[in-house]
Structure 1
Amino acid sequence: MLFSRLPATSVLAGNLASLRAATLRETATMSASDSNPYGMKWHRSMLRCKDPIASVKYYEERYGMKLVDVYHTPSLGKSNYYLASLRDGEAWPEAGSAEAHERLFDMQHSCVELEHEHGAESDPDLVYSSGNDEPHRGFGHLAFLTADVYKASEELEMAGVSFKKKPDEGRMKGLAFAYDPSGYWVELVKRNAEGGHQEKFNLGQTMLRVKDAEKSLEFYTGKGGMGMTKVCELHFDSFSLYFLQSLSSEEISSLPAPDSPDAYCRMGRSWKPVLELTHNHGTEGDPTFSYHNGNTNPKGFGFLGFIVDDLDGASECLKQTGAQEIGEPAIFEGKMRRFTDPDGYHVQLALRKTILE
């Protein structure tokens, strides 16, 4: 309020604006460095899939994703497929090649990892949990941004995609939820036209439900946590939504206030996906309440994956927050470690530029 009482000359106003911008940049840089000393960056969301051929084809053909890498690990009885939303004209080496392996764990995009347990496709009794049915709610959905949700929904339906909710159904008009081949929900959200994106779709969100918003926000954005930044928050009568991104110091310095209309508009034009934390009010006070993490039967969602510069340092830091370490196979020793977040969801740390083979 002090600034509003100063003389309103153009020179003084310009000097004050420059000073304020510089101060914000310095504060943001210090904040980013303090809260993310190990270079953590959200890298991927892992979902188990029953039929990898069908699932990869679905995300490539329906949402324009690119298969950027694949690993087959017979010793574990698994194959892992990595898909990302790339910009038009963006080159990427052939999936499975040495060049793709070199780039995967240093990529600028947050991607989707589909894990296939060999033989799952031929098990008629195997059904993965979408995370949206009681008593196994937890993971909510992936989301894609698109210019016209109504048109995109019509085209997807004509291509044989099934829907949980079409844009004009239910109370939330203008949003749609489709099913992927494994039964996971895929949300369609209107993109902000100011972003200037020409691509029809881009990966926009991964949603998780959280019991205690304060604890989860501290874990993902606080000191000693996962180095993310809260970029937007929305509050309704019975629930609140918090949107997080892994950002550079420069990106943080230009962020609007998370509860402002500008924050929502910025998120709608961003190419970088957000982690959406959904908090249903009142769950934090129920000692018997918990969400399903997707890693006990019925399985489904696997983990959020982060890449780090210092695996040992980041791991020790997480332990100090009370995160429980979960064992990884011996072949990943020195390359990956896994922990739990406050709701028991798994977070996996991978050393930046690692190669699994």
Structure 2
Amino acid sequence: MALSRPLARLLNITRHFQFRKMATDAKYYPIPIEAAHTDSSLTFNHTCLRVKDPKRSVDFYESKFGMELIGKKEFPESKFDLYFLSFPKANFHRNANGDIDVFRNSGVLELTHNYGTENDPNFKINNGNEEPHRGFGHICFTVPDVTHTCELLESKGVDFKKRLTDGRQKDIAFALDPDGYWIELVQYNRPGASDKFDVGYLFNHTMIRVKDAKKSLEFYQNVLGMHLLDVSEHANAKFTLYFLGYSRDSARWSQEGVLELTHNWGTEDDADFKYHNGNEQPQGYGHICVSLVNPNVLCKEIENKYGDKIQWPVKFNQGKMKNLAFIKDPDGYSIEIIPFGYN
């Protein structure tokens, strides 16, 4: 079947992103996890954000951005619910019943609601960008025409942290969701491109700040098997951005399921420096999630090869919620590991 021109373009934009999957000259995580490097099913599935009022937040992402609620899980005994949203797709992976397999798809946003927060006037989410609780930075949606998108959002009453006209970068904007989380808006039709295309909005990446770039890159490449897709250095402002993911079939701004690591130069040399991981008080950002066919194999190999060097808040199949695991990266950010079809 012939591909449409926009889709063919997305699948063939490989540019110069030919970095090795494994981190070379590894010092902190020198042992590659074979299960992570040979299992093609590995997927950056979702990003979890806690929200104060789920009705308000779900409506925001649906009515302002056009996302759709593809799943909901209720845990009344633990007093929390999970809402899963994604941009509409014609090719969602589905289970045997024909329902969307929430944990097999990429580009999913999980909103976690702890009962009662919506009725507490003093409760406030930590958006990850205010001192002294910085850590998580933002989620990013890439769009075909960022100017048009920003105009549309403003007409809908969406607040902005940064408009296109603000600051030096005139091609990037940051919208604000109801809890003050930053949503970066970037155009995937790059400047100078000969043809424009429109595949709708994409949940492109999630950004977290890291203390030591080398240590974090080794972890996400060697332990979790991600590829380094792109590096963007900003010497004037003394920070570097690293973009990682599981697919190298297209340029990173035209993908879903990308992780952005932001390194502010010099933090690695400060023994007392620490980022807020979102799960300590005050809470906000929760975790990212990688999914695959058989997470038990991956988890066992990580545990066998790294032992106590990697922290496990929940080892596979040993927590209250079975058949999943949580590990921590070098900065203490949580990563959920879960199988396709989890229910």
TM-score by length of 1: 0.78
Cα displacement (A) at 1:168: 1.1
Q: CA deviation at 1:227?
A: 1.7
* Contact preservation (8 Å) 1:68, 1:83: yes
1:340 maps to amino acid: K
Separation (CA, whole Å) in 1 of partners of 2:198 and 2:265: 38
In structure 2, C-alpha distance between the alignment counterparts of 1:57 and 1:49, rounded to whole Å? 12
d(CA) in 2 for partners of 1:92 and 1:310?
17
Query: Partners in 1 of 2:291 and 2:138 — Cα distance?
Result: 22
Residue 227 of structure 2 corresponds to: 229
**Aligned counterpart, 1:312:** 296
Pair 176,132 (structure 1): closer, same or farther in 2 beyond 3 Å: same
Quickly say closer, same or farther: Cα 1:325–1:61, change in 2 above 3 A: same
Q: Deviations over 1:191-220 (max 9, x none)?
A: 126696534422111101111111111111
Is this contact kept in 2: 1:63–1:202, CA < 8 A? no
Q: Partner letter of residue 267 of structure 1?
A: R
Once the 2 structures are TM-superposed, how far is the Cα of residue 66 of structure 1 from its aligned partner?
1.7
Distance 1:331 1:277 in 2: 31
The CA distance in 2 between the partners of 1:207 and 1:91, in whole Å, is 24
Cα 1:115–1:34 shift into 2, 3 Å: closer
Letter of the 2:50 partner, please give it.
R
SS at match of 1:326: coil
Question: What is the DSSP-based 3-state SS (H/G/I as helix, E as strand, rest coil) of the residue aligned with 2:82?
Answer: strand
The superposition leaves residues 38-73 of structure 1 with CA deviations (integer Å, 9 ceiling, x where unpaired) of 543211100001111111111112222121111111
Q: 2:201 maps to which residue?
A: 201
Matches within 5 A, 1:1-357: 35-37=36-38, 39-87=41-89, 89-90=90-91, 99-100=98-99, 103-107=101-105, 109-192=106-189, 197-222=197-222, 225-237=223-235, 238-247=238-247, 252=248, 266-268=251-253, 270-319=254-303, 320-321=305-306, 322-327=309-314, 330-333=319-322, 335-355=323-343
Letter in 2 for 1:202: L
Which residue of structure 2 aligns with residue 8 of structure 1? none
Which residue is 2:4 aligned to? none
Alpha-carbon RMSD across the aligned residues, in angstroms, is 2.8
What is the aligned-residue identity percentage? 35
Measure the CA separation in 1 of the matches of 2:294 and 2:92: 29
- Identify the residue that residue 9 of structure 1 maps to in structure 2: none
Give, in whole Å, the separation in 1 of the partners of 2:113 and 2:264.
32
Contact 2:33 2:302 in 1 (8 A): no
User: For 2:77, what is the secondary structure of its paired residue?
Assistant: helix
CA distance in 2, matches of 1:53, 1:196: 36
- Residues 128 and 318 (structure 1), Cα distance of their counterparts in 2 relative to 1, 3 Å cut: farther
Q: CA deviation at 1:331?
A: 3.9
**Structure number having the greater helix percentage:** 1
Q: Is there any run of 5+ residues in structure 1 with no aligned partner, and where? A: 1-24, 256-265
Show CA shifts across 1:153-177 (max 9, x none). Answer: 1221121111111011012222111
Shifted more, 204-213 versus 141-150: the winner is 141-150
SS at match of 1:318: helix
Check the 8 A contact 1:64/1:200 in 2, yes or no. no
Task: Kindly indicate whether the alpha-carbon contact (under 8 Å) linking 1:68 and 1:92 is maintained by their aligned counterparts in 2.
Answer: no
* 1:267–1:32 distance in 2 versus 1, CA, 3 Å: farther
Q: Deviations over 1:298-320 (max 9, x none)?
A: 10000111113333332233333
Which residue identity is paired with 1:36? H
Distance 1:78 1:230 in 2: 35
Structure 2 residue runs without a partner (length 5+): 1-17, 22-31
Contact in 2 for aligned 1:69/1:100 (Cα 8 Å): no
Separation of aligned partners in 1, 2:300 and 2:213 = 24
In 2, are the aligned partners of 1:138 and 1:293 still within 8 Å (CA)?
Answer: yes
Tell me the alpha carbon deviations over residues 255-277 of structure 1, each in whole angstroms, 9 at most, x when there is no partner: 7xxxxxxxxxx223x23231111
Letter in 1 for 2:67: M
How many residues get paired? 305
Partner letter of residue 143 of structure 2?
A: T
The TM-score normalised by the length of structure 2 is 0.81
Relative to structure 1, is the Cα distance of residues 173 and 196 closer, same or farther in structure 2, using a 3 angstrom cutoff?
closer
